[in-house]
């Protein structure tokens, strides 16, 4: 890639010879599916975040599905989450026949608003779980959320798809609530192409998720081929899913996990450059900062009225300068399925709507050349300058 001329994507995985060697080793090992490499990945990840154990899954979506299932969420139950998320966060509740109550995001960030959540918990009956999302990798207001959920006796699931590694004083994001789910999708802070990891406070919940991850088997495939019981024998104790992560992908994950601290340092450095570059730009609102931010996303907002162009044209102008961007997120309540199911209007969640309308995620990835970061800064400055509203 030529950083001076080529298109700069908003996200890009960073794969090196270590990942290639690890995958090749599995390819040559004679065991491709979930086995000892996935187990080692689980152990190493658990040690990293300071949990006794962790569970690999083939996506964070599966992880969230398993999480709600293990918490006993079923038909007629309700879960609360924010509309400012990727659809998987809410869709998994529907897979289980449960309903979703949306709660707007806080004024100061992109995550569920504790004040509004408190009002919902006080009013609604039948809530089985709250799912809080660490949008972009900025931790939610965890102390307030944990206190509210504890008071209501409702489990808190952390959608930590963006928040690895986000280390707060109390511990890593994802390990503070009842269940934490991480994503290793291709654009995430570490990747297995597709994949995810789950941690849970209660070992019984983790055990339930392990069983449901693999067809409801009483033993996993690796155990079947390594234990003293005959390999062909298994019992099925539940109607489970098939959500396991193969060793081929776990090998990638182990190599990426070793690099996670260095990856984080790179993204922090890029975020620092952006913050410095744009802090005096009147047309832009910087993303909320936090010492434990994983900087999976760097979402700028356009200050209303400051430019002659809107967010969509701003994105086009950057694309014209070879800069890729994305939008995180289109709020779920503005989408056909969710708006029709719950009779929702765009203005029902004003914070989520306003943030969505003004936001764009700009390139931030470990391995991003310095010249590319400088090009992004230059293109954004020029676009602001050329389109400043006349006062």
Ligand X SMILES: Cc1ncc(COP(=O)(O)O)c(C=O)c1O
Annotated active-site positions, please?
A: 188
CB of 84 or CB of 234, closer to ligand X = 84
CB of 84 or CB of 217, closer to ligand X = 84
How far apart, in Å, do the first and last CA atoms of the chain sit? 41
Phi and psi at residue 80, to the nearest 5°? -115, 135
CB of 58 or CB of 214, closer to ligand X = 58
CB of 61 to ligand X, least distance (A): 3
Phi and psi at residue 366, to the nearest 5°? -65, 140
Select the residue interacting with ligand X from 10, 45, 86, 102 (CB under 6 A): 86
| DSSP line for 279-323 | TT-TTEEPPPP-TT---S-EEEEEPTTSBSS-HHHHHHHHHHTTB
Select the residue interacting with ligand X from 68, 88, 179, 362 (CB under 6 A): 88
CB of 60 or CB of 103, closer to ligand X = 60
Select the residue interacting with ligand X from 81, 175, 183, 256 (CB under 6 A): 183
Select the residue interacting with ligand X from 41, 84, 185, 365 (CB under 6 A): 185
Crossing angle (nearest 10°) for helices 247-278 and 17-29: 170
Tokens in use for 387? 């389109």
Residues in the interface with ligand X (CB under 6 A) total 14
| DSSP line for 43-73 | HHHHHHHT-S--EEES-HHHHHHHHHHHTT-
Select the residue interacting with ligand X from 100, 117, 133, 309 (CB under 6 A): 133
Give the interface segment with ligand X, choosing from 7-15, 34-42, 80-88, 247-255 (CB under 6 A): 80-88
- 3-state percent helix, strand, coil for the chain, nearest multiple of 5: 45, 15, 40
Give the interface segment with ligand X, choosing from 157-165, 245-253, 265-273, 330-338 (CB under 6 A): 157-165
Q: Annotate each residue in 319-358 with x if it binds ligand X (CB under 6 A) or - if it does not, as one string.
A: ----------------------------------------
H or E element, residue 196:
strand 196-200
β-pairing, 55-57 vs 196-200, is: antiparallel
CB of 85 to ligand X, least distance (A): 5
Q: Does 161 bind ligand X (CB under 6 A)?
A: yes
Chain center to CA of 301:
20
Select the residue interacting with ligand X from 155, 196, 240, 253 (CB under 6 A): 196
Q: Does 85 bind ligand X (CB under 6 A)?
A: yes
Distance CA 25, CA 131 (A): 38
CB of 134 or CB of 254, closer to ligand X = 134
Q: Does 243 bind ligand X (CB under 6 A)?
A: no
Select the residue interacting with ligand X from 23, 26, 60, 352 (CB under 6 A): 60
Select the residue interacting with ligand X from 34, 56, 59, 191 (CB under 6 A): 59
Of 333, 340, 362, 359, nearest to 87 by C-alpha is 333
Beta-carbon-side half-sphere exposure of residue 341 (alpha carbons within 13 Å): 16
* Site residues for ligand X per CB under 6 A: 59-61, 85-86, 88-89, 133, 159, 161-162, 183, 185, 196
């Amino acid at each position: 890639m030529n950083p001076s001329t080529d298109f700069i994507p908003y996200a890009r995985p960073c794969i090196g010879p270590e990942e290639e060697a690890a995958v090749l080793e599995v390819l040559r090992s004679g065991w491709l599916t979930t086995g000892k490499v996935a187990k080692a990945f689980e152990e190493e990840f658990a040690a990293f975040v300071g949990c006794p154990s962790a569970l690999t899954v083939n996506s964070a979506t599966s992880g969230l599905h398993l999480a709600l299932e293990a918490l006993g969420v079923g038909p007629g139950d309700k879960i609360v989450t924010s509309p400012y998320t990727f659809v998987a966060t809410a869709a998994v509740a529907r897979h289980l026949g449960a309903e979703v109550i949306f709660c707007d995001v806080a004024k100061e960030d992109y995550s569920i608003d504790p004040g509004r959540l408190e009002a919902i918990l006080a009013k609604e009956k039948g809530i089985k779980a709250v799912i809080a999302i660490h949008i972009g990798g900025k931790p939610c207001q965890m102390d307030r959320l944990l206190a509210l959920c504890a008071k209501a006796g409702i489990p808190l699931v952390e959608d930590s798809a963006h928040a690895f590694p986000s280390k707060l004083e109390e511990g890593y994001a994802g390990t503070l609530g009842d269940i934490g789910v991480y994503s290793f999708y291709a654009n995430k802070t570490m990747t297995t192409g597709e994949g995810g990891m789950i941690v849970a406070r209660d070992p019984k919940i983790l055990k339930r998720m392990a069983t449901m991850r693999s067809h409801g088997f009483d033993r996993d495939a690796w155990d079947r081929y390594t234990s003293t019981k005959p390999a062909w024998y298994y019992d099925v104790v539940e109607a489970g899913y098939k959500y396991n992560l193969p060793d081929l992908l776990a090998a990638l994950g182990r190599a990426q996990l070793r690099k996670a601290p260095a990856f984080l340092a790179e993204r922090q450095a890029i975020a620092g450059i952006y913050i410095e570059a744009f802090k005096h730009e009147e047309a832009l609102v910087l993303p909320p900062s936090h010492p434990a931010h994983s900087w999976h996303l760097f979402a700028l907002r356009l200050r209303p009225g400051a430019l002659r162009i809107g967010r969509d044209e701003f994105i086009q102008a950057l694309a014209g300068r070879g800069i890729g961007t994305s939008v995180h997120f289109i709020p779920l309540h503005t989408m056909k399925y969710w708006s029709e199911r719950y009779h929702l209007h765009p203005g029902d969640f004003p914070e989520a709507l306003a943030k969505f309308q003004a936001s764009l995620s700009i390139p931030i990835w470990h391995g991003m050349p310095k010249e590319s970061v400088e090009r992004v800064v230059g293109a954004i400055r020029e676009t602001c300058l050329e389109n400043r509203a006349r006062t």
